[in-house]
Amino acid sequence: MNREEMLTIVRKQLTKARYLHTLGVVDTALWLAEQYGADREKAETAAIFHDYAKYRPKDEMAKIIQENEEIPKDLLDYHHELWHAPVGAYLVKLEVGIGDEEILDAIRYHTTGRVDMTLLEKVVYLADYIEPGRKFPGVDEVRELAKTNLDRAVCQALENTIHFLERKGQPVYPLTRLAYRALKQKEVGHG
């Protein structure tokens, strides 16, 4: 499947604004892949489909989470904004026929991160966070870090997300905290 075919599929699933966001994520993921040596084709594919399930009805996503053994049930205890990533990976495999687990994991973890993220997962997570259309406190600092140190940029993005959620009084998904701690520990270990 080529880029245009993938974009045609995903365009039908998204609002105009979210489609423009997706194009920004794709361009940013390709730049990061080039910068850090990730597979460009996989980065492009994962970025195109990262928000595939974003606008699925909440009850449909909840049902998929409940019925699918590979999706953690504890997601249902957290904000529904997290759901579209693992549900998206499931639906991209089911409806689009993409079976590459590396691509599916990059989609699956683009909202939460996880411990020992692969290079591709970091690229997609960060591309989603820093794409040019994003405007919020801290994003410019992460964009600067992304130019020189992928792990530091992902770590800072995770830290910003944790602080944002805590300020709003929302619970932080455990994988996000674990991903942050692991990257912070790696950073400390490398001095």
Q: How far apart are CA 83 and CA 90, in angstroms?
A: 11
* pLDDT for position 89: 98
Q: For residue 109, give the nearest of 179, 41, 156, 168 by alpha carbon.
A: 179
| pLDDT score, position 186 | 87
Closest among 172, 140, 136, 137 to 153, alpha carbons compared: 140
Rg (C-alpha) for the chain, rounded Å, is: 16
pLDDT of residue 190: 62
Spatial CA neighbour of 121 closest among 133, 111, 109: 109
Angle, helices 40-49/16-36, rounded to nearest 10 degrees: 160
Cite the beta strand spans of 15-111 per DSSP E: none
In this prediction, the residues of the chain whose per-residue pLDDT falls under 70 are 190-191
Phi, psi values for residue 111, rounded to 5°: -100, -30
- The answer to whether 120 and 39 are in contact (CB under 8 A) is yes
Q: Which of 81, 4, 14, 97 is nearest to 44 (CA)?
A: 4
pTM: 0.96
Residue 189 is predicted with a pLDDT of 73
The residues, ordered by sequence, that sit 6+ positions from 37 with a Cβ below 8 Å of its Cβ are 119
Structure confidence by residue, pLDDT tens digits, 118-172 = 999 999 999 999 999 999 999 999 999 999 999 999 999 999 999 999 999 999 9
Buried b (16+ CB within 10 A) or exposed e, 135-162: eeeebeebbebbeeebbbbbbbbbbbbb
Helix (H) or strand (E) holding 109: none
Can you give the pLDDT at residue 126? 98
